[in-house]
Chain A
């Protein structure tokens, strides 16, 4: 029943992706990213996303530190970090994270500290959600790839 497994995985992946799209967590940019993936770099998406998570975690940490630092209220740095986070999020198509970043930025511009704190909370939550979901997705894909290699040992239409 290996074949069934592969199909199930594929369906799961599709379902998960469509869920994420439906919820607005991801947008078309993610599809672009998937299109960029080809045989020369089969793990392109997951690589990029991993780097994204790595970078974003740093930025989130920085943001939290900057916000918690009661003496120093550094808009500039907050803005830069947010810009970076926003840029990279939109590059991988993390729509919701990007939108929250925009809201965050607006709060920073208005010098509204409580709103900033709230935005950070939401951002962290959203980020975790995205991370979990994407991890799930990549996990399924990995399984599927593994399954694929097993599935048609001598199949006619595989090379």
Chain B
């Protein structure tokens, strides 16, 4: 049992004698156990130079600063604890040993005592038995059983308590105890030895300072190991921010340059001052802080450092300096900034996208609404026109005064509604044009200037019309600005019910003729004028027209325009010279500015921004007082912008407003304009004097108000009457008495009508053809009627006709179906072109063999020979100069002097245009593959045909314009006719 005890002690105590980790509490360093990593650190070479230490200061710090002293005391305590532990353990061991020793001695004593007692008892026995003798014999009587006991060796069976009395037993026992004692003594000796050894070792063990410095060295080594490549600067600065210690991996300064100096003294450049201020702030506030600084260094440019500064306190709690650590994060900062920028961009992009989506959605919705509106307006208009025309008819019947008044109200209301619907229709057309311009939108066209640039770039008369044909067509026709102004003013004067003077002033440098969409321009002018008249109660309404410099000069050199301006007024005389000098004058663009000035109520400044918005008027009371829908100006603006110009307004309240629009116009080729002069002269209502053409001043004074209401004829007649009177005034003749004028007028007309009936009886229907009137009536249409009639008797016109025929291009139509032929022929006549017609491909080839054509319009599907084959044959001829292939195909050329054909070198390539129905199988590719130049889809429209001819520079000699419905034009047109008659 004692043995076991000893064993236990050994197991428990011995391991704790050798503490495994002396640094158990020194977590701050966490240095690996020495020995295991010795090799690792041996391999590493340390460059210890970067550390620059002021040792004096370090000593001071450890002495004075709380941290330093605590650090030191901690280490000492640690060592002391360790030693104490060892001592304690040894003491325990000693105690154990001595305890055991005592026990053993006790045992010994006990044994001895027992032994004595035994002897005594033995002596006291009644039957003393000498143990020296053979006394065992005596005990033969003893239970026999005992005799049988065999003791094989000296070991006795101690379990047998009955044998305790035997000497043998006690001998055995004594022997055994002696043995135990021996062992115990032996162990004691071993332990003593061990104790000696341990004491010896203890003596041998290093002093605390040595151990400490070793630990410190290891920690230091590790620190160096870790820091050797770290881009950090570690330092300590004292109270005055002088460096006491610095670790810098990239030292550029020597010790003496740094220690004892402040940042500002060492470095210079941006950021140094700030960082020092920051350190000072930390020092003062006593709270650690982190901040980024950008230093401007001479060597590396801008470098950003993240600096952590921590105050150091003395034992008394005062700050005695700062520790700081800096890390270079230039790249990270740059990356971070880049990321931020990217994130920002993404956000912007996303916002833009959503905005765009929204816009698209809105646009689509708007378009749908617009279409709906257009359809509705259209639907409303047809029954309404029935109502209005009925009312007009009714007004011609016999009515009493009340009825007449009611009727006139009804008519004017009807007119108003029609006007309103037309406005809406126009607007939705313009707007749908605006939104369905994918091409323009693609270029992000916001302002009209760009579209002008685009237009120049493309060298098209009106690019927009080409880009979205079908939505709202802009016509490019020649017109005379002076005439337009005059007509507009006439019209306005005719319905003038106020004492206003209408004036038109056209500057001399405005060309006689320009190209543009005359109807649209007229609409704009009419709108502006009626607006001006509406808001003007006395004074003048004036139109000024003059040429201005190109608002965005580009490829057109300015002198050229000026040159044109100079030349144009005297056009006829210098015609030839002009032509020679300006072969490109076809493309000359002139910017014409038009001011519509009034002396009306003006527009308050606040209302100007919303002026051009739809359904907006300057104010609610304005709308109530003057009526109107507020659509007019919006339409004008959109129209002007559609044509590549701009509309602006300037106004002064109670003094008047000026609406100004600037539009680019092409100036027609001088040659052509001379050709057409006669045409225009015919339609010119007055005698065709040169003076009249270039006269730039018109004035219209109001008629007497009384006469307006004193008419006894029908409304319509009266209207015409009034108009006629104003014409008289315009022409400068003295004021004619109204009645006499009317009489003259009627007389003249009667005679004229009679005469006409004989020759042109059937032509009257043209004026009242509902389709004509309803769908596309136009002024020029009416004028042409007149010109046609006159052409017969004016000899100069005949000459012109002849000249034209010789120059007229030859066109061949290849079409098998008689209806299509009729329609196409008719259209060509509208475009004033003659045309030969053949019925199939073979005939077409023959026709081409016979005669040179400038253009071939070729149907694709035809009997006998289709258009594709015919085209191939013609192209083959153009290439080879002979008709061999045609012969092979069975088309014999007529008897021609073959040499004549071959001699013609180089053979001109005839433009061949396919006419296809898109639903049919023949595709555009097929047409092009067979040598066709372009194609028109069937059914052929006049517009298509015209564009096609224009493309192949066969300028259609135009008579008529087909332009979107212009409600008022029918009235104007009638007036013009009447006026002409009057003149004759």
What's the least CB distance linking B210 to chain A, in Å?
108
With A14-B386, A90-B917, A159-B753 already in contact, the answer to whether A39 and B818 are too (CB < 8 A) is: no
A31 adjacent to chain B (CB < 8 Å): yes
Indicate if the CB atoms of A90 and B816 lie closer than 8 Å.
no
Indicate if the CB atoms of B382 and A51 lie closer than 8 Å.
no
With A14-B770, A148-B768 already in contact, the answer to whether A157 and B977 are too (CB < 8 A) is: yes
A111 adjacent to chain B (CB < 8 Å): no
* A41–B823 alpha-carbon span in the complex (Å): 12
The tally of CB-CB contacts under 8 A between chains A and B is: 150
Which of the segments A78-86, A114-122, A128-136 contacts the partner chain?
Answer: A78-86
Which of the segments B279-287, B290-298, B772-780 contacts the partner chain?
Answer: B772-780
Indicate if the CB atoms of B919 and A157 lie closer than 8 Å.
no
Partner of B823, one of A13, A17, A80, A91: A91
Which of the segments B541-549, B658-666, B744-752 contacts the partner chain?
Answer: B744-752
Partner of A48, one of B823, B940, B978: B823
B769 adjacent to chain A (CB < 8 Å): yes
* A6–B765 alpha-carbon span in the complex (Å): 12
Indicate if the CB atoms of B720 and A51 lie closer than 8 Å.
no
Indicate if the CB atoms of B382 and A14 lie closer than 8 Å.
yes
Which residues on A sit within 8 Å (CB–CB) of B750? 154
Indicate if the CB atoms of A42 and B765 lie closer than 8 Å.
yes
Indicate if the CB atoms of B393 and A159 lie closer than 8 Å.
no
What's the least CB distance linking B744 to chain A, in Å?
12
Indicate if the CB atoms of A39 and B766 lie closer than 8 Å.
yes
Instruction: Fill in one digit per residue for B508-532: 1 if any A CB lies within 8 Å of its CB, else 0.
Output: 0000000000000000000000000
What's the least CB distance linking B913 to chain A, in Å?
16
With A42-B765, A90-B938 already in contact, the answer to whether A48 and B830 are too (CB < 8 A) is: no
Which residues on B sit within 8 Å (CB–CB) of A31? 771, 775
Indicate if the CB atoms of B390 and A7 lie closer than 8 Å.
yes
Indicate if the CB atoms of A87 and B917 lie closer than 8 Å.
yes
With A34-B775, A88-B820 already in contact, the answer to whether A42 and B919 are too (CB < 8 A) is: no
Q: Among the interface residues B385, B717, B823, B977, which one has the most CB atoms of the partner chain A within 10 A?
A: B823
With A35-B776, A42-B766 already in contact, the answer to whether A156 and B720 are too (CB < 8 A) is: yes
* A29–B534 alpha-carbon span in the complex (Å): 40
What's the least CB distance linking A56 to chain B, in Å?
9
B58 adjacent to chain A (CB < 8 Å): no
Indicate if the CB atoms of A159 and B819 lie closer than 8 Å.
no
Which residues on B sit within 8 Å (CB–CB) of A4? 393
* A93–B938 alpha-carbon span in the complex (Å): 10
Which residues on B sit within 8 Å (CB–CB) of A156? 717, 720, 745-746, 749, 978
Indicate if the CB atoms of B819 and A157 lie closer than 8 Å.
no
Residue of chain A at shortest CB distance from B761: A149
Which residues on A sit within 8 Å (CB–CB) of B826? 36, 41, 44, 48
Instruction: Fill in one digit per residue for A119-159: 1 if any B CB lies within 8 Å of its CB, else 0.
Output: 00000000000000000000000001100110000111111
* A90–B769 alpha-carbon span in the complex (Å): 23
B398 adjacent to chain A (CB < 8 Å): no
Which residues on A sit within 8 Å (CB–CB) of B760? 39, 159
Indicate if the CB atoms of A34 and B390 lie closer than 8 Å.
no
Indicate if the CB atoms of B775 and A86 lie closer than 8 Å.
no
* A4–B765 alpha-carbon span in the complex (Å): 17
Interface residues on B, range: 35 or more
Indicate if the CB atoms of A157 and B720 lie closer than 8 Å.
yes
B942 adjacent to chain A (CB < 8 Å): yes
A65 adjacent to chain B (CB < 8 Å): no
A contact residues, total (Cβ < 8 Å): 53
* A147–B557 alpha-carbon span in the complex (Å): 60
Indicate if the CB atoms of A48 and B819 lie closer than 8 Å.
yes
What's the least CB distance linking A45 to chain B, in Å?
8
Which residues on A sit within 8 Å (CB–CB) of B574? none
A3 adjacent to chain B (CB < 8 Å): yes
* A115–B386 alpha-carbon span in the complex (Å): 44
With A87-B861, A91-B938 already in contact, the answer to whether A34 and B772 are too (CB < 8 A) is: yes
A74 adjacent to chain B (CB < 8 Å): no
Which residues on B sit within 8 Å (CB–CB) of A15? 382
B785 adjacent to chain A (CB < 8 Å): yes
Instruction: Fill in one digit per residue for B808-842: 1 if any A CB lies within 8 Å of its CB, else 0.
Output: 00000000111110110011011000000000000
What's the least CB distance linking B970 to chain A, in Å?
11
What's the least CB distance linking A50 to chain B, in Å?
10
Indicate if the CB atoms of B940 and A91 lie closer than 8 Å.
yes
* A38–B788 alpha-carbon span in the complex (Å): 12
What's the least CB distance linking B411 to chain A, in Å?
14
* A98–B937 alpha-carbon span in the complex (Å): 14
Residue of chain A at shortest CB distance from B962: A35
Which residues on B sit within 8 Å (CB–CB) of A7? 389-390, 393
A32 adjacent to chain B (CB < 8 Å): yes
Indicate if the CB atoms of B941 and A29 lie closer than 8 Å.
yes
* A28–B756 alpha-carbon span in the complex (Å): 33
Which residues on B sit within 8 Å (CB–CB) of A91? 817, 819-820, 823, 938-940
B762 adjacent to chain A (CB < 8 Å): yes
Indicate if the CB atoms of A3 and B393 lie closer than 8 Å.
yes
With A7-B393, A91-B938, A156-B745 already in contact, the answer to whether A86 and B822 are too (CB < 8 A) is: no
Residues of A within 8 A of B (CB): 3-4, 6-7, 10-11, 13-15, 17-18, 28-29, 31-42, 44, 47-48, 51-52, 55, 80, 83-84, 86-88, 90-93, 98, 102, 144-145, 148-149, 154-159
Chosen A-B contacts, 9 in total, with CB atoms closer than 8 Å, are A11-B389, A14-B774, A31-B775, A34-B769, A34-B771, A47-B822, A91-B820, A149-B764, A158-B764
Q: Please list the 8 inter-chain residue pairs (A to B) with the smallest Cβ-Cβ separation, ordered nearest first.
A: A39-B763, A88-B819, A34-B771, A90-B939, A36-B826, A159-B756, A29-B939, A52-B819
11 more A-B residue pairs beyond the given contacts A39-B785, A84-B816, A159-B749, with a C-beta to C-beta distance below 8 A:
A10-B389, A32-B823, A35-B776, A39-B763, A42-B766, A87-B861, A145-B765, A148-B765, A155-B753, A156-B745, A159-B981
